């Protein structure tokens, strides 16, 4: 895709509507952004920037197929240059490809990026993640090692690799990354707490995460501190931790989802449903699919199989590749 392009600087004409569209993206107003990009197209503003912005806005709206089309056109409109802008567009394109169910094409895009910048740690990590989703364990492991080679002092990278491998069923194989990260000198209390959590040392995890939990209300700290209390068996306190946070920051979809999962475990099914629906009300959040599925599960626990079946039918139209959901839908139709 990027082969044969030449490094060059870039100058653009007026980008007033594009700039306004990008401001909307920064504020998570993706519909508003699309309006400005439409104006930019109509007034003849820079095509590459307009298409790039429109693609990013569509990603925010979870329209990954549309994003792929626009981002590809943006690269084609680059006029043969490769600058930071084109690299950035290529990263967005690879993410959109991965999220639209095209991991093989995402791998190709990351490979194209690495052909021009072979020391890009992020590209190695993301290519490894895409490879792992395709069962390419050896290839993914090599890319994760290369990612570390170029960013060996970043504890977050080791944590991300572990979480990626754990989600793919390779937790045991990935624990070495956690142990290596624990030996780094620049590790903070939050990172140390996450490492202890994944290592199953919940007492030390709690101590570190409590130290990291300050008045700023960092959602990542809250998420892992709550998970740690859940792992220690204190699900009621974990739920109260999530709930207290949501009183101040009600539009954190991740915390809404974790609260709902915790309440499901506690047998508080009505409360869990409310938590998932609160998360679903947050526009353009990145875990919409998980929230929609968990809402269906909550209705099942409440024995409202009719509503669960209706929602599952709509869910499968939106996410047709979810095999587990297909099996669940067959069960629901028999109830």
Reported as a single tens digit per residue, the pLDDT across 9-36 is 344 567 899 999 999 999 889 999 999 9
| Lowest pLDDT segment from 38-47, 49-58, 147-156, 311-320 | 311-320
**pLDDT at residue 8 in the model:** 38
Look up tokens 């909307």; give the residue.
Answer: 24
Average pLDDT over residues 296-301: 96
**pLDDT at residue 62 in the model:** 82
User: Looking at the DSSP assignment, which residues form a beta bridge with residue 7?
Assistant: 82
Q: What is the mean pLDDT of the chain?
A: 91
**pLDDT at residue 325 in the model:** 85
Which runs of E-coded beta strand occur in the chain? 6-7, 81-82
**pLDDT at residue 7 in the model:** 37
253/276 Cα distance (integer angstroms): 8
Average pLDDT over residues 151-172: 93
Confidence of residue 84 (pLDDT cuts 50, 70, 90): confident
**pLDDT at residue 162 in the model:** 95
**pLDDT at residue 301 in the model:** 95
218/211 Cα distance (integer angstroms): 12
Average pLDDT over residues 202-227: 91
Average pLDDT over residues 201-210: 96
Structure confidence by residue, pLDDT tens digits, 104-140: 999 999 999 999 889 999 999 999 999 999 999 999 9
Task: Tell whether the model's pLDDT for residue 80 goes beyond 80.
Answer: no
Confidence of residue 258 (pLDDT cuts 50, 70, 90): very high
Do domains 1-101 and 234-335 share one topology? The answer is yes
Would you say the C-alpha torsion 123, 126, 127, 128 has a positive or negative sign? Answer: positive
| Topology given in CATH for the domain delimited by 234-335 | 1.25.40
Q: Which of 37, 39, 47 is nearest to 13 (CA)?
A: 47
**pLDDT at residue 330 in the model:** 85
49/41 Cα distance (integer angstroms): 10
Residue boundaries of the structural domains of the chain: 1-101, 234-335
Task: Tell whether the model's pLDDT for residue 199 goes beyond 80.
Answer: yes
Architecture of domain 1-101: Alpha Horseshoe (1.25)
Task: Tell whether the model's pLDDT for residue 234 goes beyond 90.
Answer: yes
**pLDDT at residue 327 in the model:** 86
**pLDDT at residue 61 in the model:** 86
CA distances, 152 to each of 127, 147, 155, 164, 218 (Å): 17, 8, 8, 17, 25
Average pLDDT over residues 144-153: 95
**pLDDT at residue 290 in the model:** 93
**What predicted TM-score, i.e. pTM, was given to this entire model?**
0.80
Q: What percent of the chain has pLDDT over 70?
A: 96
CB within 8 Å of 79: residues ≥ 6 apart: 48
């Amino acid at each position: 895709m990027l082969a044969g392009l030449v490094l060059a600087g870039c100058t653009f004409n007026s980008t007033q509507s594009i700039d306004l569209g990008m401001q909307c993206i920064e504020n998570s107003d993706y519909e508003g952004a699309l309006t400005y990009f439409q104006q930019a197209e109509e007034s003849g503003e820079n095509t590459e920037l307009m298409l790039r912005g429109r693609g990013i806005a569509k990603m925010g709206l979870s329209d990954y197929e549309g994003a792929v089309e626009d981002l590809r056109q943006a690269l084609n409109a680059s006029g043969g240059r490769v600058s930071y802008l084109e690299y950035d567009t290529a990263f967005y394109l690879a993410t959109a490809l991965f999220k639209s169910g095209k991991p093989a094409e995402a791998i190709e895009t990351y490979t194209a990026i690495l052909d021009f910048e072979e020391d890009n740690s992020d590209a190695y990590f993301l290519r490894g993640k895409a490879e792992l989703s395709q069962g390419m364990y050896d290839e993914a492991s090599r890319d994760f090692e290369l990612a570390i080679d170029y960013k060996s002092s970043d504890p977050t990278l080791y944590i991300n690799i572990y979480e990626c491998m754990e989600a793919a069923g390779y937790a045991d194989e990935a624990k070495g990354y956690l142990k290596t990260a624990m030996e780094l000198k620049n590790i903070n209390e939050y990172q140390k707490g996450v490492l202890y959590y994944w290592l199953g040392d919940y007492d030390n995890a709690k101590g570190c995460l409590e130290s990291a939990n300050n008045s700023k209300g960092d959602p990542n700290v809250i998420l892992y501190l709550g998970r740690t209390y859940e792992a220690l068996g204190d699900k009621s306190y974990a739920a109260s931790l999530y709930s207290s946070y949501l009183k101040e920051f009600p539009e954190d979809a991740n915390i809404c989802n974790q609260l709902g999962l915790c309440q499901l475990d506690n047998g508080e099914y009505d409360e869990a449903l409310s938590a998932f629906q609160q998360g679903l009300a947050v526009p353009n959040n990145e875990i919409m699919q998980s929230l929609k599925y968990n809402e269906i599960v909550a209705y099942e626990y409440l024995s409202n199989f009719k509503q669960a079946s209706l929602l599952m039918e709509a869910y499968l139209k939106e996410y047709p590749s979810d095999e587990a959901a297909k099996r669940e839908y067959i069960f629901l139709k028999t109830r």
